[in-house]
Amino acid sequence: MLKLTFRNLAANKARFVMTTFAVVLGVGFVVASFVLSDGLRSSFGDLSDEITVGTDLQVRPVSDFGEPPPLDQDLVDRIASLDGIEVVAGFVSADDNAMQPVKPDGTTISSAGPPQLTFSWVADQGLGSFALVEGTAPDEPREFAMDIDGAEANGFVVGGSYDLVTPIGVVKDATLTATTRFGSDNSTLGAVLMHVSLGEAQRLFGSPGTVDEIGIRLAPDADATAVAAAISGIIPDSGVEIVDQATLNSEQKADFNQGINIIGNVLLGFAIVSLFVSIFIIYNTFSIVLGQRVREMGLLRALGADSRQIRRTVLGEALLVGLFASLIGLIAGVGIARGLIALFEALGASLPDAPTIVALRTVILALVLGVGVTVVSSLVPARAAAGIAPIAALRDGARLGSQSSRRRSLTGAALIGVGLMFGVYGLANPPGTTLALVAVLGLAASLVFVGVSLASHMLARPVARVLGWPIAAGMGTAGRLARENASRNPRRTATTGAALMIGLSLVSTVLIIGESVKSRLGDLLETSVQADYLIVDDSEAGVTSDLAAELAATGQFSAVTGFRYDEARLSGTVSEVVAADLTSLGRLLSLDVRSGAIPSDEAGDVVLLHMDQADELGVVVGDVVPAEFATGTTIDLTVAAIFADDTVIGSPIVPNAVFDSAGSADVHQWVAAALADGMDPDLAQPLIDQIQQRYPQVSIDSAAEFQARFEASIDSALAVVNALLALAVVIALIGIANTLALSVHERTRELGLLRAVGMTRRQVRRMVRWEAALVAMFGAMLGVALGVVFGWGAVTALPVNFADTVTIPIRRITVLVVVAAGAGLLAAWLPARRAGRLDVLKAISHT
Partner 1 sequence: MSLLTTNPTATDLVAARAINLTKIYGRGDTEVRALDGIDVEFHQGQFTAIMGPSGSGKSTLMHCLAGLDRITSGSIVIGGTDLTALNERRLTLLRRDRIGFVFQAFNLVPTLTALENITLPMDLAGTKPDPAWLDTVIDTVGLRDRMTHRPSELSGGQQQRVAVARALAGRPELIFADEPTGNLDSTTGAEILSFMRRAVREMEQTIIMVTHDPVAASYADRVVFLVDGTIVDDLVDPTADSVLDAMKRLGN
Nearest CA to 82 out of 320, 309, 252, 242 is that of 242
Neighbours of 204 (CB within 10 A): 23
Among 243, 340, 524, 844, binds partner 1 (CB under 8 A): 844
Tell me how far CA of residue 480 lies from CA of 475, 736, 754, 756, 760, in angstroms.
Answer: 7, 19, 13, 18, 15
Smallest separation, CB 747 to partner 1 (Å): 9
Residue 171, amino acid? V
Instruction: Return d(Cα 131, Cα 136) in angstroms, integer.
Output: 11
DSSP tag of 108: B
Instruction: Return d(Cα 423, Cα 787) in angstroms, integer.
Output: 13
Binding window for partner 1 (CB under 8 A); candidates: 319-327, 656-664, 707-715, 754-762: 754-762
603 binds partner 1 (CB under 8 A): no
Among 709, 761, 812, 834, binds partner 1 (CB under 8 A): 761
Among 753, 789, 797, 806, binds partner 1 (CB under 8 A): 753
% helix / strand / coil in the chain, to the nearest 5? 60, 15, 25
The nearer residue to partner 1, 356 or 845, going by C-beta atoms, is 845
746 binds partner 1 (CB under 8 A): no
Residue 585, amino acid? L
- Backbone torsions φ then ψ of 322, nearest 5 degrees: -60, -40
DSSP tag of 726: H
Helix (H) or strand (E) holding 5: helix 2-11
The nearer residue to partner 1, 537 or 771, going by C-beta atoms, is 771
Among 303, 346, 360, 757, binds partner 1 (CB under 8 A): 757
The pattern of x and - marking residues 279 through 308 that bind partner 1 according to CB under 8 A reads ------------------------------
Residues 6+ positions from 76 with CB-CB distance below 8 Å: 88, 89, 90, 211, 214
Evaluate the CA torsion angle 281, 286, 287, 288 in order and state its sign: positive
- Using CB under 8 A as the binding rule, the residues of this chain from 459 to 498 that contact partner 1 are 476-478, 480-481, 484-485, 488
Tell me how far CA of residue 182 lies from CA of 49, 115, 187, 192, 246, in angstroms.
Answer: 13, 15, 7, 11, 20
Are 9 and 732 in contact by the 8 Å Cβ rule? The answer is no
- Using CB under 8 A as the binding rule, the residues of this chain from 357 to 386 that contact partner 1 are none
338 binds partner 1 (CB under 8 A): no
Smallest separation, CB 466 to partner 1 (Å): 17
Name the H helices within 695-760: 703-746, 748-756
- Using CB under 8 A as the binding rule, the residues of this chain from 813 to 842 that contact partner 1 are 840-841
The nearer residue to partner 1, 397 or 572, going by C-beta atoms, is 397
Binding window for partner 1 (CB under 8 A); candidates: 49-57, 159-167, 235-243, 748-756: 748-756
587 binds partner 1 (CB under 8 A): no
Among 467, 511, 512, 759, binds partner 1 (CB under 8 A): 759
641 binds partner 1 (CB under 8 A): no
Among 758, 799, 810, 811, binds partner 1 (CB under 8 A): 758
Nearest CA to 691 out of 683, 704, 700 is that of 700
- Using CB under 8 A as the binding rule, the residues of this chain from 513 to 532 that contact partner 1 are none
Residues 6+ positions from 611 with CB-CB distance below 8 Å: 594, 642, 643, 644
Among 750, 785, 826, 833, binds partner 1 (CB under 8 A): 750
559 binds partner 1 (CB under 8 A): no
Interface with partner 1 (CB under 8 A), residue total 23
Smallest separation, CB 781 to partner 1 (Å): 22
Binding window for partner 1 (CB under 8 A); candidates: 191-199, 356-364, 535-543, 746-754: 746-754
Smallest separation, CB 774 to partner 1 (Å): 13
749 binds partner 1 (CB under 8 A): yes
The nearer residue to partner 1, 480 or 709, going by C-beta atoms, is 480
The nearer residue to partner 1, 297 or 759, going by C-beta atoms, is 759
Instruction: Give the gyration radius of the chain's Cα atoms.
Output: 33
DSSP tag of 113: S
The nearer residue to partner 1, 405 or 527, going by C-beta atoms, is 405
Smallest separation, CB 463 to partner 1 (Å): 17
Smallest separation, CB 843 to partner 1 (Å): 10
Are 560 and 673 in contact by the 8 Å Cβ rule? The answer is yes
The nearer residue to partner 1, 683 or 841, going by C-beta atoms, is 841
Among 217, 587, 755, 765, binds partner 1 (CB under 8 A): 755
The nearer residue to partner 1, 356 or 760, going by C-beta atoms, is 760
Are 354 and 41 in contact by the 8 Å Cβ rule? The answer is no
The nearer residue to partner 1, 400 or 517, going by C-beta atoms, is 400
713 binds partner 1 (CB under 8 A): no
Burial of residue 686 (number of CB atoms within 10 Å: 0-12, 13-18, 19+): exposed
- Backbone torsions φ then ψ of 165, nearest 5 degrees: -85, 120
Interface residues toward partner 1, by CB under 8 A = 476-478, 480-481, 484-485, 488, 749-750, 753-761, 763, 840-841, 844
